Amino acid sequence: MSNPVEDALRELRREYHAESPARVAELRRVLTSLAGGDERAETELTVLCHRLAGSGGAYGFPTVSVTARTMERLLQSEPHWTPARLAELEAGIREIEDAFARGGPG
């Protein structure tokens, strides 16, 4: 017999996973803006990372949460965006994308 609560959670996890390409694309878009000197992009990227840090684990993607939290801390600690810092953020986005690509929760 199926459990309605478990079924609902499974569906929410599937929806979250289905939205992952858009989430990754948004991270990349904002990182590109940051690299281009858009001062608002730092705040926007911090907010996106904060949301992923909070939601990833809850929806079955703990690596997403850990990586997004690391990125959030980097954004909060380093106001000077050197190519090396931007590369660290891009690597974090790739790690989040890979975590989503490894598959969604059942």
pLDDT in tens, 8-67: 888 999 999 999 999 999 999 999 999 999 989 999 999 999 999 999 999 999 999 999
Q: What pLDDT does 105 receive? A: 52
Residue 94 belongs to a domain: yes
In CATH, what number is assigned to the domain containing residue 53? 1.20.120
Residue 40 belongs to a domain: yes
Amino acid occupying residue 3: N
Q: Residue 76 is part of which domain span?
A: 4-101
Residue 106 belongs to a domain: no
Q: What is the tally of structural domains in the chain?
A: 1
Residue in this structure with the two tokens 């997004």, named with its chain if needed: 68
Residue 43 belongs to a domain: yes
Tell me how far CA of residue 8 lies from CA of 2, 5, 75, 82, 96, in angstroms: 11, 5, 34, 44, 24
Residue 45 belongs to a domain: yes
